[in-house]
Amino acid sequence: MDSALWDELRRIAETRPKITELFAKDEARAEDFSVSCGEMLFDFSKTQVTRSTLDFLLSMSKNAGVAAKRDAMFSGARINETEDRAVLHTLLRAPQAPEGLEVEHAEVARILANMAAFANNVRDGSYTGQGGAITDVINIGIGGSDLGPAMAALALAPYHDGPRLHFVSNVDGADVADTLDGLNPETTLVIVASKTFTTIETMTNARSAFEWMAAKVSDPGSQFAAVSTAEDKTAAFGIDPARVFGFEDWVGGRYSMWGPIGLALMIGIGPDDFDAFLAGGAAMDAHFQSAPMAENMPVLLALIGIWHNQGCGHATRAVLPYDNRLARLPAYLQQLEMESNGKTVAMDGAALPVHSGPVVWGEPGTNGQHAFYQLIHQGTRVIPCEFLVAAKGHEDNLSHHHELLVANCLAQSEALMVGRSFEEAQALMAAKGLEGAERDRQARHRVFPGDRPSTTLLYPKLTPEVLGMIIALYEHRVFVEGVMLGINSYDQWGVELGKELANALTPILKGEESDAGKDGSTRMLLSRIKG
């Protein structure tokens, strides 16, 4: 993209109007600055974006070639240039084969059918452990091989009617030990989920789980399944190819929950609800491919992200689901967004002309309100907030809870925008009987600067289909932001150095090698740990 456009964007941001003024001038602002996809509504009216700013952002996306690059991705072009791979996670949920991808699509359908057959066998007790029907399924994986299914298993708890699901990811032995504690190895199925089947955390946890199983089960391998692109390595681990579900290298780890990496989720909720999840993702794909850019939800979500981060200079964004079952969504989005767009260089190797993607963080509301919202409202840094909320909850008998939840969500975006002036705070203190300097001193603590931007994603209810739409929405947002920044959103070289150094440190910790050549801090820490 023409780098002069970034300077212009920053110039526009310097003179941005107040959100309340925009609402005062334009009665139709809410309608004009919101967009729908099916029954999902994305409201970005409580931001400082004006019509001309939006037009400028849209012209930036055009200049960056977003539409052509989107089409290239869906058609299977090798847009992950640093790994020379296509980026085709959308194929995992495509109802029909895109032109030229018929063979790949048929293979996806075949593997999905195998997953469904296995999931049904586990669910109906046709597949058993040594002690009978499977009661517990442990997914051992990390990053994209853990966060997606773990996030979705919680999100879709009302649809869960299969064996209990557990997720082990951390190499900290506490994770696997606490998970195995109390489980019966004779009725447990372990799924080793690793795209590469080399990830040290996953392989270490898988071996520990195998030993735990072997203590009670005569053929532990028969209670293991694997999900991977490396079928030679799953065979070497001793997992029967009949229970190995493969996928291709054109599915990135953090984009992989739609295929075999979703196996544990499918066992938990059943193939039909898993299909509904895929259908939701496909509906968002169709919208992304066909809606005009000015009405395109992923494009607009991305443009708002670019505006806040690269335009206004807000370095972080908070993801605040008012939906307790989306508690793991912020962690999921941290990987999706930060592993994808946390890069220093553009595709051609040149330094980025602006900052890369933002820090993404968050917690469900209303819990966050009683923890970190103080800083969001009155701290010196502005943090754009992304609220997510369902019109209806699942708990019909607890609808008063849902009313309170929604009221709090809407109140937060209103409070962030409207704030409270010094004069209003003064009046409040005067009403409490304070006067003069003490009234003013107390009032100053009760001022809310306001004009703090937020967006709200409103959906009817957190169903499998809606979850699919939400996840695909964010995937495409990352893509659009990546294209505008010139980033390859599909590699992750930044995780490699730490892995290499950890491998080099392990023999030093074991006393097999000396610490010569290590820095003073690392040597001191090693020496204290070794005692």
Q: Tokens 């097999």 — which residue?
A: 512
* 81 part of the active site: no
Kindly tell me which of 261 and 483 has the beta carbon lying closer to ligand F6P.
261
- CA gap 139, 202 in Å, rounded: 10
From the CB of 100, what's the least distance to ligand F6P, in Å? 27
Kindly tell me which of 254 and 343 has the beta carbon lying closer to ligand F6P.
254
Residue 137 parent element (H or E): strand 136-140
Give 81's Cβ-side CA count (13 Å radius): 10
| Contact (CB, 8 A) for 471 and 149 | no
- CA gap 43, 33 in Å, rounded: 6
Kindly tell me which of 175 and 273 has the beta carbon lying closer to ligand F6P.
175
From the CB of 498, what's the least distance to ligand F6P, in Å? 9
Q: Out of 339, 363, 475, 481, which one is annotated catalytic?
A: 339
From the CB of 467, what's the least distance to ligand F6P, in Å? 19
Provide the CA 29 distance to its chain's centre, in angstroms. 29
Kindly tell me which of 47 and 145 has the beta carbon lying closer to ligand F6P.
145
| Token output for 483 | 């294209």
Residue 459 parent element (H or E): strand 454-459
From the CB of 358, what's the least distance to ligand F6P, in Å? 19
| Contact (CB, 8 A) for 392 and 460 | yes
**Rg of the Cα trace of the chain?**
25
Kindly tell me which of 323 and 339 has the beta carbon lying closer to ligand F6P.
339
Kindly tell me which of 22 and 151 has the beta carbon lying closer to ligand F6P.
151
Tally: H helices and E strands in the chain? 22, 13
Which residues lie near ligand F6P (CB under 6 A)?
142-145, 194-196, 199, 202, 253-254, 339, 492, 495
- CA gap 41, 416 in Å, rounded: 20
* Angle in degrees, CA 267, 268, 273, rounded to 5: 85
From the CB of 319, what's the least distance to ligand F6P, in Å? 19
Question: For the residues of 156-189, what is the DSSP string, one character each?
Answer: TGGG--SSEEEEE--SSHHHHHHHHTT--GGGEE
CA 453 vs CA 46, 73, 373, 412: distances in Å = 6, 32, 14, 11
Bridge partners (DSSP) of residue 136 are 164, 188
Kindly tell me which of 19 and 115 has the beta carbon lying closer to ligand F6P.
115
What secondary structure letter does DSSP report for 448? B
* 339 part of the active site: yes
From the CB of 268, what's the least distance to ligand F6P, in Å? 20
Q: Out of 27, 99, 370, 435, which one is annotated catalytic?
A: 370
- CA gap 159, 274 in Å, rounded: 10
Kindly tell me which of 6 and 237 has the beta carbon lying closer to ligand F6P.
237
From the CB of 147, what's the least distance to ligand F6P, in Å? 8
Q: Out of 25, 62, 355, 499, which one is annotated catalytic?
A: 499
* 195 part of the active site: no
* Number of residues that this document lists for the chain: 531
- CA gap 69, 478 in Å, rounded: 13
Q: Is the dihedral of CA 368, 373, 376, 379 positive or negative?
A: negative
From the CB of 399, what's the least distance to ligand F6P, in Å? 39
- CA gap 164, 134 in Å, rounded: 9
| Contact (CB, 8 A) for 209 and 171 | no
From the CB of 233, what's the least distance to ligand F6P, in Å? 10
Kindly tell me which of 105 and 195 has the beta carbon lying closer to ligand F6P.
195
164 Cβ contact partners less than 8 Å away, ≥ 6 residues apart: 135, 136, 137
| Furthest C-alpha separation in the chain | 82
Give catalytic residue positions: 339, 370, 499
